[in-house]
Structure 1
Amino acid sequence: MTEDDVITHVTALEGVVVWRASPGDGSPEIAWGDSFVYYSPDGTVPAATQPFATIVTKDYPDDVSSQLHRPGTYRVNIHAGTDAAARALAQQQDTEHTGAQPGGSELAAADALRPHPTYGRAGWLAVINPGERTTALTRALLTAAWESARSRYQRSS
């Protein structure tokens, strides 16, 4: 699954806006090239809403464990919510028949679902370069995050 595949998946969902930070748009330089995915049926980037998913292409000063400085490496971050994140991680652990939690260099392993290195406690999940093992799960989690974002929007309208 490429970055473009992720964007194609989310933009096929109703009301999604993908904003890619770039020079001249007011975003900080560190964010340039990263994509932010919002539910916004009016087609604009909402001013007071957090994205439900992001695609990051580089390490941030307080977030280097994924080693995104490697060529061709990106990370999909998905706000699943704390309960859904716990279920997804437990399901993956059951599927893999391992009791090990990602740690050390495992945090930089591709094609594995893990808690977001910074926002995992807030229900964010992360997958570096989704591949054969995680593409279907990544798509399902993105769709569920979209459904949650849409529901929050509808409740607040």
Structure 2
Amino acid sequence: MEIDEITEYIESLGGVLTLAPGPDSGFPEIAWGDKFFYYAPDGQIPTRTQPFATIVTKNYPDDTTSDLDRPDVFRLNINPGRDAFLTHLGYPPRNTADHPVDASKPDTWIPHPVYASAGWVAVVAPGDGTESTAKELLTRAHSRARSNYDRHAD
């Protein structure tokens, strides 16, 4: 899966605001080249929530275990919730320390290196082995974000 293909799929779910920071965006340079996906049918960045998915293209100071500074490598991060985390990784988010993984291995589901305790999952260099599950988890994360948006819109 390529970044543009993933972006197109996420945006096809509807009501998605995609932030793609760059030099003139006003966002910190560290975020340039990454993408952040929110459920925001009004086109405004939600103030009470995090994105439901992100694509990161480089290491961050507190997040280097996926070795994203390799050429043409990125990581898709998804917040499908704790139940989906358990279903797809086989253990609850609170038990990630008991299940060490190679966070740089391509096309393999891993707990998010920083946000696993919140139910985030991730995949480095998603490909054929993770594509169908990625779409399933993205759809679930989008649905959860939409429900959260609707609850707070009242």
Q: 1:120 aligns with which of 107, 116, 120?
A: 116
Aligned to 1:18: 18
1:102 offset after TM fit, Å? 4.7
1:110 offset after TM fit, Å? 0.5
Residues of 2 paired with 1:8 and 1:136: CA distance? 15
- Structure 2: gaps (5+ residues): 92-97
Aligned residue pairs, count: 147
State the identity %: 47
Q: Within the alignment, does 1:148 sit opposite 2:148 as a pair?
A: no
> After superposition, what is the alpha-carbon deviation per residue over 1:36-64, rounded to whole angstroms, capped at 9, x for unaligned?
00000112322332100000000001110
Q: Give the root-mean-square deviation of aligned CA atoms.
A: 1.6
> After superposition, what is the alpha-carbon deviation per residue over 1:91-117, rounded to whole angstroms, capped at 9, x for unaligned?
9xxxxxxxx9453xx210110001000
1:65 offset after TM fit, Å? 0.5
- Structure 1: gaps (5+ residues): 92-99
Residues of 2 paired with 1:139 and 1:102: CA distance? 25
Aligned to 1:95: none
Q: 1:134 aligns with which of 113, 127, 130?
A: 130
Q: Within the alignment, does 1:3 sit opposite 2:16 as a pair?
A: no
1:4 offset after TM fit, Å? 0.6
Q: Within the alignment, does 1:83 sit opposite 2:83 as a pair?
A: yes
1:134 offset after TM fit, Å? 0.2
Aligned to 2:107: 111
Residues of 1 paired with 2:152 and 2:103: CA distance? 36
Residues of 2 paired with 1:119 and 1:111: CA distance? 19
Residues of 2 paired with 1:59 and 1:15: CA distance? 29
Residues of 1 paired with 2:100 and 2:108: CA distance? 9
In the alignment, is the contact (CA less than 8 A) between 1:102 and 1:114 conserved in 2?
no
